[in-house]
């Protein structure tokens, strides 16, 4: 099941050798690998034939052949890369400009691989064309469920039920529920099927469990008719006439549930077989694991709903119901039960399985046993994962070939690990597995990857992975991925020494450590050295941060990825310099980068974080000039070090991201000429009180010449706020790249008039963040018809008193965040609240530690019909920090009232629909607030727009502002923010509704 990934990896390796300007192939070397490269393309196409076969077919023999293909390719790739490494001089020898490669010794191995693959592929094609039907048949006719209560998902139940009831008559309508295995699709469909109102409206109700191995379409259709007529129809092969079908269904309302559909063809044929009736209706409700199983060009879906995971409250209710039944949870078990429910991460199948294990234990009322389970000190969760893996595995087995290894790779990341999309993309690219669309397909089409959307994309359609803030796996899928990856020698996850037997490590292509100290144990290092060091391609250290250096030199030679940001090194590890295949390097190190870093000429991503931001006075740390010789670099992130342009003509044409470095104004003049294709640029600059701020405008002018820049961040370190200081104004004072999409300014001290220039002359700007007196002045009255594309605006640490958008400005604004603007009193209505181009659009306003009048003003903004306003406020001015949340829905009544001390008076009966579900609460400020129910809680810590995995260097670091970016802040670290959040959760007084 990993052969396709092996083919991609070898083709990528050969392609890199052929394209590398540092290699010169000797004699017949180029011909040898070119012939093999061409032979691999048809192999890719043959492997993809399997994707067109039915999931009802058994793949055991095909999977065995798949493993043989993978092993043969990996053996040759090991030989090829080992020979290549031998041609590279070892440190401290100097790397020549051109390395001559003689690969003629591999000619026999290459020919042997081609012949082996041809033989296996003949057998592979035969097995694919003659796959037997899997057993047993999984479909059944008729409903055998019981009238049991459904816990959770009440919002989706109401939505789907309403859609089904309100659909028009006289036509066939298809509604679909889809989502990952075990998420509760069948349970939700059962609840709809058994609902009293549904039973009253529909004359006929039919339930068919289709399954992965269904009965014949004719048998299913006859079963449907048998349920409708409630009479014995023979199950023969006689054709059922159209007139007979029309006579059965006409003048009746029918609901047909097709549960667990795996193939479009099944319901496509059934829908085509059902008659078009003149009176009454036929409603079909599908459930499927994948969106691709319900997307049909021939028959449009009337309504489609992805079944969500349960929230924490629903998870706790379900766990207690399954363990204690009608009894309530004993008080002494409530705390560990809450933690256990949370660890199930909202997957009903996981909750029910854990509950079953708990209820069968003889210690199920013992608090110490529950605490052990909650702290994972026994096998309950592992046993539950193993049990449900049988249910989950088919979703992985029948994935398209090109998605299997990217999906397995997602399992390397630990639970609760923040996975920015950019990081996943670059690491998969280093492995040769990224195809540009795999994340979106796994998340959207197959419901296997949990994705968190950027705030600006939450109300928009899902079209690409760039809209995701982070991506991760549910813990049950992570367990399955790790088991499958270990079995296929793709990677091995280690937490304890007992996880590293030589047999388990032998031949592993990746090592992922969740306990970094393992490398400090000699027994472990010896085991790695003898078992897998010669074949390992990835070394990933994802354990808790370890501040004392450990040796990692165990004979690795073929590593492509080293991710060790959670492991501190005093100096740059010299053993890294011998890893000439390295494409991704991320380290935490306070030492200077060696000039010999240029030996890593294959490197694409270079990330260096300091352990502590300590800078010697008068002795700046510089990025070595040799970095300009590393032509493959696409991403550079070296926090706190200064970068200078070389005196010789050199440029990094592939560099797309440069963030974190210090740069002077003089440096930027030359730097802008050396990075012509840069897309994301983030720099830090230091200006003294005596510096001429006009020089800063010159800096911006240099950046304006870079037409490719889409994201620009500039942070002035140690900014000096000069009240009353005004920079000279003219239309040409401030220049920025015309195509800029995201702009982050910190400490620049501009007047608000400069924002008018930005708003009028940057038509594509969607994100604007202003921090640490980036702009100062008490009033910002934005120019008319400005910021027409802006979706996200953050103003943090400012002396602003009034924010007043001009007429027709901020038409697309969906998120406004005001933080630590202590003088802010007035927030006026942006145009996006007046008329929304997207019906049902939600606009969020966040007010943190501002004047109380600002929050009052935000909650009373006038709304137009179809617009939802969500206001989130928090304040630490009082003895205990407080949080405030409210939500308002725009309708005729709201628009007519405008701003007032009370939002709603008596609501007319014909206007009740506008306020359905709204709860009114009187707050201490003396006005009414409409708030969502408690289970619709909004997480204040996870709301800000995502920066596509780039990294931030703002003065005030908060988790929601980075959205998965790495940071080099002056005051905060992520660990400190997380600890502070946990403390606040226990102490805050929330104004709950």
Q: How many CA atoms lie within 13 A of 935 on its CB side?
A: 14
Sign of the dihedral defined by the CA atoms of residues 379, 385, 388, 393, in that order = negative
Taking CA atoms, 135 is separated from 1, 214, 215, 696, 908, in Å, by: 20, 10, 11, 72, 60
Q: At what angle do helices 348-360 and 475-487 cross, to 10 degrees?
A: 90
Neighbours of 116 (CB within 10 A): 17
Specify the length of the chain in residues.
993
What average pLDDT does the structure give for the chain? Answer: 82
> Exposed, middle or buried: residue 938 (CB in 10 Å: 0-12, 13-18, 19+)?
middle
Nearest to 756 by CA among 783, 735, 781, 794: 783
Max intra-chain CA distance, the chain: 96
Is residue 769 predicted with pLDDT exceeding 60?
yes
Q: What angle do CA 639, 645, 646 make, to 5 degrees?
A: 130
- Weakest-pLDDT range from 91-105, 330-344, 383-397, 445-459: 445-459
Is residue 466 predicted with pLDDT exceeding 70?
no
Contact 652, 677 (CB under 8 A): no
Element at 368 (helix H, strand E) = helix 367-374
Tokens of 961: 């502002």
Is residue 796 predicted with pLDDT exceeding 70?
yes
Nearest to 595 by CA among 575, 623, 573: 623
Is residue 457 predicted with pLDDT exceeding 50?
no
Is residue 717 predicted with pLDDT exceeding 90?
no
What pLDDT does residue 246 have?
76
What pLDDT does residue 273 have?
82
What pLDDT does residue 228 have?
79
In degrees to the nearest 10, what's the CA dihedral of 476, 479, 480, 482? Answer: 150
Contact 778, 803 (CB under 8 A): no
- pLDDT, tens digit (0-9, with 9 covering 90-100), for 798-811: 999 999 998 889 99
Instruction: Please report which confidence band the pLDDT of residue 954 belongs to, taking 50, 70 and 90 as the band edges.
Output: very low
Q: Which stretches of 626-744 are DSSP H helices?
A: 665-671, 694-704
SS (H, E, C) 407-439: HHHHHHCCCCCCCEHHHHHHHHHHCCCCCCCHH
Instruction: Please report which confidence band the pLDDT of residue 410 belongs to, taking 50, 70 and 90 as the band edges.
Output: very high
Question: From CA 899, how far away is CA 83, in angstroms rounded?
Answer: 75
Pairing between β-strand 450-453 and β-strand 303-306 as defined by DSSP bridges: unpaired
Q: How many CA atoms lie within 13 A of 565 on its CB side?
A: 16
What pLDDT does residue 619 have?
64
In order, the DSSP letters of 294-320 are T--SSS--SEEEEPPPP-HHHHHHHHH
Question: From CA 877, how far away is CA 849, in angstroms rounded?
Answer: 7
Mean pLDDT of 425-432: 88
Nearest to 796 by CA among 843, 758, 847: 847
Tokens of 386: 């193993």
What pLDDT does residue 219 have?
85
- pLDDT, tens digit (0-9, with 9 covering 90-100), for 649-667: 788 999 999 998 888 766 7
Contact 895, 862 (CB under 8 A): yes
Is residue 147 predicted with pLDDT exceeding 80?
no
What pLDDT does residue 615 have?
62
Pairing between β-strand 468-472 and β-strand 826-827 as defined by DSSP bridges: unpaired
Mean pLDDT of 547-568: 92
What pLDDT does residue 920 have?
33
Tokens of 262: 């795996």
Nearest to 409 by CA among 307, 470, 477, 327: 477
Q: Which residue has the higher pLDDT, 119 or 95?
A: 119
Q: Which residue has the higher pLDDT, 278 or 150?
A: 150
Mean pLDDT of 967-979: 37
Question: From CA 901, how far away is CA 904, in angstroms rounded?
Answer: 9
Mean pLDDT of 154-160: 92
Question: From CA 608, how far away is CA 613, in angstroms rounded?
Answer: 12
- pLDDT, tens digit (0-9, with 9 covering 90-100), for 519-549: 999 999 999 999 999 999 999 999 999 988 8
Mean pLDDT of 60-89: 94
Query: 10 by DSSP, 3-state: which?
Result: helix
Is residue 974 predicted with pLDDT exceeding 50?
no
Query: 960 by DSSP, 3-state: which?
Result: helix
Question: From CA 744, how far away is CA 817, in angstroms rounded?
Answer: 14
Q: What are phi and psi of 341, to 5 degrees?
A: -60, -40
Q: What angle do CA 719, 725, 728 make, to 5 degrees?
A: 110
Query: 279 by DSSP, 3-state: which?
Result: coil
Is residue 222 predicted with pLDDT exceeding 90?
no
What pLDDT does residue 334 have?
94
What pLDDT does residue 819 have?
95
Mean pLDDT of 182-206: 92
- Weakest-pLDDT range from 11-20, 420-429, 727-736, 770-779: 727-736
Question: From CA 703, how far away is CA 745, in angstroms rounded?
Answer: 14
- pLDDT, tens digit (0-9, with 9 covering 90-100), for 654-705: 999 999 888 876 677 788 888 999 999 999 887 766 666 666 777 788 888 8
Is residue 135 predicted with pLDDT exceeding 90?
no
Mean pLDDT of 953-957: 36
Q: What angle do CA 880, 882, 883 make, to 5 degrees?
A: 160
Query: 744 by DSSP, 3-state: which?
Result: strand
Neighbours of 294 (CB within 10 A): 22
Is residue 614 predicted with pLDDT exceeding 70?
no
Question: From CA 783, how far away is CA 756, in angstroms rounded?
Answer: 6
Mean pLDDT of 307-327: 93
Contact 354, 361 (CB under 8 A): no
Mean pLDDT of 357-378: 93
Tokens of 805: 């958008």
Q: How many CA atoms lie within 13 A of 343 on its CB side?
A: 21
Edge to edge, what strands does the sheet with 140-141 contain?
140-141, 204-209, 252-261, 280-288, 172-178, 303-306
Is residue 48 predicted with pLDDT exceeding 80?
yes
Tokens 């159209």 appear where? Answer: 242
Question: From CA 450, how far away is CA 814, in angstroms rounded?
Answer: 23
Q: Which stretches of 167-301 are DSSP H helices?
A: 185-194, 196-201, 217-229, 242-249, 264-273
Q: Which residue has the higher pLDDT, 881 or 49?
A: 49
Contact 255, 164 (CB under 8 A): yes
Percent of the chain with pLDDT over 70: 81
Percent of the chain with pLDDT over 90: 51
Element at 795 (helix H, strand E) = strand 792-796
Nearest to 167 by CA among 76, 322, 275, 300: 300
- pLDDT, tens digit (0-9, with 9 covering 90-100), for 980-989: 333 333 333 3
Query: 564 by DSSP, 3-state: which?
Result: strand
Q: Please name the residues in contact with 667: beta carbons below 8 A apart, sequence gap of 6 or more.
A: 642, 643, 644, 645
- pLDDT, tens digit (0-9, with 9 covering 90-100), for 854-890: 999 999 998 887 788 999 998 887 767 788 888 888 7
Q: What angle do CA 691, 951, 667 make, to 5 degrees?
A: 35
Mean pLDDT of 175-198: 94
Pairing between β-strand 538-541 and β-strand 510-513 as defined by DSSP bridges: parallel
Question: From CA 837, how far away is CA 843, in angstroms rounded?
Answer: 12
- Weakest-pLDDT range from 567-576, 638-647, 761-770: 638-647
Q: What angle do CA 435, 439, 443 make, to 5 degrees?
A: 150
Element at 161 (helix H, strand E) = helix 154-166
> Exposed, middle or buried: residue 529 (CB in 10 Å: 0-12, 13-18, 19+)?
middle
């Amino acid at each position: 099941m990993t052969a396709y990934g092996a083919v991609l990896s070898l083709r990528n390796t050969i392609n890199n050798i052929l394209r590398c300007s540092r290699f010169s192939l000797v004699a017949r070397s180029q011909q040898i690998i070119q012939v093999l490269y061409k032979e691999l393309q048809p192999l890719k196409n043959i492997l993809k034939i399997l994707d067109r076969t039915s999931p009802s077919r058994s793949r055991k023999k095909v999977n065995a052949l798949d493993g043989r293909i993978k092993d043969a390719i990996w053996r040759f790739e090991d030989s090829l890369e080992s020979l290549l490494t031998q041609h590279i001089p070892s440190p401290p020898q100097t790397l020549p400009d051109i390395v001559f490669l003689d690969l003629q010794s591999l000619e026999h191995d290459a020919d042997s691989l081609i012949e082996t693959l041809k033989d296996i592929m003949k057998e592979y094609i035969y097995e694919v064309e003659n796959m037997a039907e899997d057993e047993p048949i999984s479909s059944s006719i008729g409903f055998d469920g019981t009238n049991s209560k459904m816990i959770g998902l009440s919002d989706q139940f109401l939505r789907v039920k309403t859609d089904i009831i309100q659909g028009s008559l006289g036509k066939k309508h298809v509604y679909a529920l889809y989502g990952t295995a075990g998420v509760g699709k069948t349970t939700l469909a059962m609840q709809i099927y058994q609902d009293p109102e549904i039973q009253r409206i529909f004359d006929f109700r039919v339930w068919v469990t289709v399954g992965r191995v269904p009965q014949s379409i004719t048998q299913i259709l006859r079963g449907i008719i048998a349920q409708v007529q409630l009479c014995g129809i023979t199950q023969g092969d006689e054709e059922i006439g159209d007139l007979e079908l029309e006579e059965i269904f006409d003048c009746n309302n029918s609901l047909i549930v097709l549960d667990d559909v795996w193939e479009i063809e099944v319901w496509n044929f059934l829908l085509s077989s059902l008659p078009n009736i003149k009176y009454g209706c036929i409603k079909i409700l599908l459930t499927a694991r994948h969106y691709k199983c319900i997307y049909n060009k021939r028959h449009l879906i009337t309504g489609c709903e992805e079944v969500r995971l349960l929230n924490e409250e629903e998870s706790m209710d379900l766990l207690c119901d399954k363990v204690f039944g009608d009894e309530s949870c004993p008080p002494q078990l409530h705390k560990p039960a809450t933690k256990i429910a949370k660890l199930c991460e909202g997957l009903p199948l996981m909750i029910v399985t854990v509950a079953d294990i708990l209820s069968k234990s003889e210690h199920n009322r013992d608090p110490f046993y529950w605490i052990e389970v909650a702290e994972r000190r026994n096998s309950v969760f592992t046993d539950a994962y193993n049990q449900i893996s049988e249910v989950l595995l088919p979703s992985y087995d029948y994935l398209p070939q090109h998605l299997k290894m990217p999906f397995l790779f997602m399992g390397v990341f630990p639970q609760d690990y923040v996975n920015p999309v950019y990081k996943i993309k670059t690491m998969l690219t280093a492995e040769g597995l990224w195809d540009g669309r795999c994340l979106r397909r796994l998340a959207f089409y197959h419901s296997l990857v949990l994705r968190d959307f950027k705030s600006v994309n939450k109300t928009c359609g899902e079209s690409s992975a760039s809209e995701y803030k982070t991506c991760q796996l549910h813990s049950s899928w992570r367990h399955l991925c790790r088991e499958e990856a270990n079995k296929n020698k793709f990677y091995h996850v280690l937490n304890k020494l007992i996880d590293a037997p030589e047999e388990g490590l032998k031949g592993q292509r990746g090592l992922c450590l969740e306990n970094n100290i393992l490398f400090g144990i000699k027994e472990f290092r010896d085991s790695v050295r003898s078992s897998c060091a010669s074949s390992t391609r990835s070394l990933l250290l994802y354990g808790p941060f370890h501040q004392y250096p450990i040796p990692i030199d165990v004979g690795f030679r073929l590593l492509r990825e080293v991710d060790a940001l959670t492991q501190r090194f005093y100096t740059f590890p010299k053993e890294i310099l011998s890893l000439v295949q390295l494409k991704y390097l991320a380290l935490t190190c306070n030492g200077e980068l060696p000039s010999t870093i240029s030996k890593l000429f294959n490197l694409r991503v270079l990330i260096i974080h300091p352990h502590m931001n300590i800078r010697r006075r008068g002795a700046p740390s510089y990025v070595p000039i040799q970095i300009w010789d590393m032509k493959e670099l696409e991403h550079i992130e070296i926090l706190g070090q200064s970068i200078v342009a070389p005196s010789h003509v050199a440029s990094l044409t592939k560099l797309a991201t440069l963030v974190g470095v210090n740069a002077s104004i003089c440096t930027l003049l030359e730097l802008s000429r050396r990075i012509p294709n840069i897309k994301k640029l983030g720099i830090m600059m230091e200006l003294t009180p005596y510096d001429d701020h006009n020089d800063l405008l010159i800096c911006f002018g240099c950046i304006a010449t870079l037409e490719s820049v889409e994201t620009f961040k500039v942070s002035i370190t140690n900014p000096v706020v000069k009240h009353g200081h005004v920079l000279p104004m003219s239309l040409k004072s401030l220049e920025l790249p015309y195509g800029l999409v995201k702009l982050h300014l910190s400490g620049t001290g501009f007047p608000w008039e400069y924002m008018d220039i930005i708003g009028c002359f940057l038509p594509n700007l969607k994100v604007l963040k202003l921090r640490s007196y980036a702009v100062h002045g008490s009033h910002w009255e934005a120019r008319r018809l400005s910021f027409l594309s802006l979706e996200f605006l953050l103003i943090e640490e400012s002396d602003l008193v009034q924010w007043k958008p001009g007429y027709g400005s901020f038409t697309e604004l969906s998120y406004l965040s005001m933080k630590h603007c202590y003088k802010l009193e007035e927030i006026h209505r942006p145009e996006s609240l007046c008329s929304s181009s997207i019906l049902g659009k939600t606009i969020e306003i966040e007010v943190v530690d501002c004047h109380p009048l600002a929050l009052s003003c935000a909650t009373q903004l006038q709304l137009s019909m179809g617009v939802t306003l969500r206001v989130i406020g928090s304040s630490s001015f009082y003895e205990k920090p407080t949080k405030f949340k409210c939500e308002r829905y725009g309708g005729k009544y709201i628009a007519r009232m405008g701003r007032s001390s009370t939002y709603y008076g008596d609501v007319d009966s014909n206007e009740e629909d506008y306020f359905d579900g709204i709860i009114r609460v009187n707050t201490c400020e003396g006005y009414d607030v409409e708030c969502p129910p408690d289970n619709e809680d909004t997480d204040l810590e996870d709301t800000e727009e995502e920066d596509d995995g780039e990294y931030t260097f703002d003065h005030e670091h908060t988790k929601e502002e980075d959205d998965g970016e790495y940071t080099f802040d002056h005051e905060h670290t992520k660990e400190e923010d997380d600890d502070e959040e946990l403390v606040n959760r226990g102490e805050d007084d929330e104004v709950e509704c």
